[in-house]
Structure 1
Amino acid sequence: MVTRYFYQLLIRLFSGHGGIVLALASILSAGGVSAKPLFEAAQPIPLYSYFATGDVNAVVTAPSVLPTPSFVLMGGGPDVDPAFRWLIQRAGIRPGTGGRFVVIRATGTEAYNPYIFYSDDTLSTSTTIAELWVGGASLGLTSVETLVIPSVKAANSQAVNAILAKANVVFIAGGDQSDYIRFWKGTALEQTLNALMRKNVPVGGTSAGLAVLGQFDYSALYKSATSELSMLDPYYKDITFDPSPLSLQGGFLAPPALASLIFDSHFDSRDRMGRFIAFISRIVARTATPIGAVGCAGGLLPASSGGGRTARGIGIGVETALLVQGNGNGNPVTAKRVTNPSTSTESAVYFVRPSVPPSVCEPKTPLTISTVEVRKLADSESVFNLTDWSGLPLYNHLDVISGTLLPADWY
């Protein structure tokens, strides 16, 4: 009897000759070998995936243009329920107005849809909202929609951008920020997102979604950088940025309200302060001094304890969200922290700014930088002024000396 292996070999050899293949299939089927699985057409891979919960055809009267910007910067891990409610409210969505909440991601599922739309695990739209649910429908949402956009071609899709353009709120899910840089940057999707941000449509992001919201992004094009290796060599291969090379223009998204900033997530749970100081150090411009050059080659901004346009960043812990809002012309951009009532972590936000340039910042050389200012926000009452970097007392001064973070127990 002809073996299945020999049958498959013949199929490969004669795959260009339909008559021979069909004859073989007929002969071998008569001999007890099923040919059906080998001739079924492969299922096409979709260009993108789209999932909707609620009524996408409902009339929406919530404003499409808002007076000031709003951003949720979330640190990964468990999602922060009140941060999603804040985005909905900042969008001007109220019961009766309707509103479309659109989640975008490069991989994953529609898991955000029921979580944001419903009020509890019975999938009710009650005004009594259970913990671990957002209750968006009770707040006025008429739909939650997820777009999985896994390629440049998908990001340029007219259908994808037509859905996104109608969003009253946008949320960028976690995953791998290198996908967002590779697949979305320079596409119609980026243009649509920028158009929404010009209208001050609220935007949020968690983990990888957070990473791409700064003026400078850690793009993670290779492996995830570690604190230890970043401090031993601030130019090692896993430290990649967008824009590349670093520039004051050309970054992915880069909303003006978040100018001069770089972000990092899962901050204390993954011990990321060391790598974050290396990231921010790389942004510090090289300058000449009487005792030699300081700063980092390729850097752009000064290190300073004052002024708005300085190298700085925000590290956000798991189950933590920073609510960032504009407050009108001439007023500062401000931020508050929220978390879930049952959080089991400190849920802290760290505002990090070098006060002086690195004294040693070279490829294949351990980093040295002193008196890095750290301010810590671990309550939901304090308001931090992002514009002039004020509103919290100094929490700590950190040093990196020859590639070693001091003190090591920074949190």
Structure 2
Amino acid sequence: MLTRLLSQSLKPVIASLGGIVLAMAAVLPAAPASAAPKFETAQPIPLYSYFATGDVDAPVTAPSVLPTPSFVLMGGGPDVDPAFRWLIQRAGIKPGTGGRFVVIRATGTEAYNPYIYYSDENLTTSTTIAELWVGGASLGLSSVETLVIPSIKAANSPAVNAILARANVVFIAGGDQSHYIRFWKGTALEQTLKSLMAKNVPLGGTSAGLAVLGQFDYSALYKSATSELSMMDPYYKDITFDPAPLSLQGGFIAPPALASLIFDSHFDSRDRMGRFITFISRIVAPKESASGTFGCAGGVLPASSSGNATARGIGISVETALLVQGNGDGKPVTAKRVTNPSTTTESAVYFVRPSVPPSVCEPKTPLTVSTVEVRKLDDPAGVFNLTDWTGVPLYKHLDVNSGVLSPADWY
């Protein structure tokens, strides 16, 4: 969700395909008490909504296929302006090439369009870009388009998928990730996204949009899980995943470059370390030993302090983005952190990996897992190697003992 409120009136060029309904409320005088009641004719609910800023018909010479993948993993809260510029640049878009930036969401408005397209509150396309604006037009974008896709039927719409298939950059907005799983998984929309990823079209997401970018997703089908309740019962009803049951195949989107990962947002502001360790613990497969069975029933990956096919995850703070890029065959996938110049938060990224399986992981029983490795990236110059999980020194080891996180001050 776009959380940075724009203080001025914005009038982007709004285009319509497929019958978007724009409603205006009329203020009518009260009818006399004796007058017969009047009924408004019900307006049809649009299948989907489409908004465009810029010129959607402009020729585009930016490459449609790129050599390596690019992802923006954003932690929610205020959007990170330089992360959007990075996506545009990674798409090979430059002044004169044109390029289409497509935002997809299940609810909400076109508020991203002017923020990404224009350079300042006067809605100019100046090469001098003000803070709180992306300035995409000055970087070469010819259009920013938003699709609101609120149903399975909409996600299967040929018109929706035709618009999305032309994208040079795709961004999944915040909102409710359960909508993305319920409405988009298994549809033509998912196949279009996978086709774009196969061409290495840059892809980003924030908050709920971030949540659906891992191999494993916290699907939040019910209420949002809390750290306290998660650690007290790692199988309680609000902990839901995609794929369900957990599997090494069948996840929604599941970009290959982000294999073995699960993500969480608003990480520090909502104190989510406890629930995140629980989520990752649930991914750890059961393991028999002479002293008993460790791990979690239904888990699919080992816990280890080495290797790149182990249970692990990335927690991202508000107003923080992790820029993830492939670097060619045989080279590691790397990531760096960015935030806004005016940020008032620490804007850190946490890389979390259990080094040993949980010793207690059962329904209606407090979780116990020890020696969970946490690496913290808060340096704009730092580069993290996602492939071998190096580049940032160990920050802390955390334990959960009978449902209690230790140390509690993990920030």
TM-score strictly above 0.5: yes
How far does residue 32 in structure 1 lie from its aligned partner after superposition? 4.6
Could you tell me which amino acid in structure 1 is paired with residue 54 of structure 2?
G
Gaps of 5+ in 2: 1-30
Aligned position for 1:127: 127
Helix, strand or coil at the partner of 1:274: helix
The 5 A counterparts of 1:134-145 are 134-145=134-145
Aligned with 1:210: secondary structure? helix
The residue that corresponds to 2:372 in the other structure is 372
Check if 1:302 corresponds to 2:299: no
Q: Who is 1:184 aligned against?
A: 184
Aligned to 2:393: 393
Q: Is structure 2 residue 326 aligned with structure 1 residue 331?
A: no
CA deviation after TM superposition for structure 1 residue 379, in Å: 1.3
Report which of the two structures shows the higher radius of gyration computed on alpha carbons.
1
Distance in 1 (alpha carbons) for counterparts of 2:43 and 2:34: 26
Letter in 2 for 1:324: V
Superposed, which structure 2 residues align to 1:341-380 within 5 Å? 341-380=341-380
Cross-structure match for 1:18: none
The answer to whether the aligner puts 1:160 opposite 2:160 as a matched pair is yes
Q: By how many angstroms is 1:41 displaced?
A: 1.8
Per the alignment, residue 11 of structure 2 pairs with none
Distance in 2 of aligned mates of 1:284 and 1:191: 29
- C-alpha displacement of 1:134: 0.0
Match of 2:72 in 1: 72
Residues 294/64 of structure 1: CA separation in 2 closer, same or farther (3 Å cut):
same
For 2:379 and 2:134, locate their aligned partners in 1 and report how far apart those are by CA, in whole Å: 21
Could you list the runs of 5+ residues in structure 1 that have no partner in the other structure?
1-28
* Letter paired with 1:87: L
Counterpart position of 1:46: 46
User: What SS is found at the alignment partner of 2:362?
Assistant: coil
CA distance in 2, matches of 1:31, 1:255: 62
Instruction: Give the aligned partner of residue 274 of structure 1.
Output: 274
Could you tell me how far apart the structure 2 residues matched to 1:355 and 1:211 are?
A: 23
Alignment-mate amino acid for residue 123 of structure 2: L
Letter in 1 for 2:126: S
Deviations 1:143-171 (A, max 9, x none): 00000000000000011000000000000
Q: 1:30 to 1:360 in 2, by over 3 A?
A: closer
Superposed displacement of residue 388, structure 1? 0.2
| Cα pair distance change 1:301/1:50, threshold 3 Å | same
Report the AA paired with residue 316 of structure 1.
I
Q: Which amino acid aligns with 1:266?
A: H
Give the secondary-structure state (helix, strand or coil) at the position aligned to 1:324. Answer: strand
> CA-to-partner distance for each residue in 1:224-266, whole Å, 9 max, x for gaps?
0000000000000000000000000000000000000000000
Residues of 2 paired with 1:295 and 1:182: CA distance?
29
For the residues of structure 2 that align with 1:374 and 1:32, how far apart are their CA atoms? 71
DSSP 3-state at the match of 1:192: helix
Matched, 1:107 2:107: yes
CA RMSD of aligned residues (A): 1.1
**Structure 2 counterpart of 1:171, one-letter code:** F
1:22 counterpart residue number: none
Structure 1 residues 301-347: Cα deviation after superposition (integer angstroms, max 9, x where no partner): 11001000000000000000000000000000000000000001000
Q: What one-letter code is carried by the residue in structure 2 that aligns with 1:335?
A: A
Q: What secondary structure does 2:278 align onto?
A: helix
Q: Distance in 1 between matches of 2:43 and 2:390?
A: 56
1:34 CA displacement? 3.6
Instruction: Find the aligned partners of 2:225 and 2:367 in 1 and give their Cα distance.
Output: 15
| 1:65-93, Cα deviation, whole Å (9 max, x unpaired) | 00000000000000000000000000000
CA distance in 2, matches of 1:293, 1:32: 77
Show CA shifts across 1:20-78 (max 9, x none).
xxxxxxxxx9995244x32x321111000000000000000000000000000000000
What SS does the corresponding residue of 2:394 show, helix, strand or coil?
Answer: coil
Aligned position for 2:147: 147
Q: Aligned partners of 2:363, 2:33: CA distance in 1, in Å?
A: 67
Query: Shift of residue 393 of structure 1?
Result: 0.3
- CA pair 122-395 structure 1, distance change in 2 beyond 3 A: same
* Partner residue, 2:245: 245
TM-score normalized with structure 2 length:
0.92
- Residue in 1 that maps onto 2:35: 33
TM-score, reference length from structure 1: 0.92
| Count of aligned pairs | 381
| Cα distance change, pair 368–117 in 1 and its aligned pair in 2 (3 A) | same
Stretches (4+) displaced over 4 A: 29-32
Q: 1:345, 1:289 → 2: CA distance? A: 44
- Counterparts of 1:264 and 1:134, CA distance in 2: 25
Q: Which residue of 1 aligns with 2:20?
A: none
SS in 2 for 1:370: strand
Residue identity opposite 2:138 in structure 1:
S
2: distance between equivalents of 1:34 and 1:140?
A: 58
> Which residue in the other structure is 2:195 paired with?
195
- Look up the equivalent residue of 1:351 and give its one-letter code: F
SS in 2 for 1:352: strand
Q: In structure 1, what is the equivalent of residue 81 of structure 2? A: 81
Taking the aligned partners of 1:67 and 1:259, their CA distance within structure 2 comes to 19
1:95 maps to which residue?
95
> Matches of 1:213 and 1:324 in 2, distance apart?
12
Where does residue 408 of structure 1 map in the other structure?
408
SS at match of 2:397: strand
For the residues of structure 1 that align with 2:254 and 2:384, how far apart are their CA atoms?
Answer: 20
SS at match of 1:395: strand
- Counterpart for residue 17 of structure 1: none
> What SS does structure 2 have at the residue aligned with 1:114?
helix
Partner-residue secondary structure (3-state), 2:194: helix
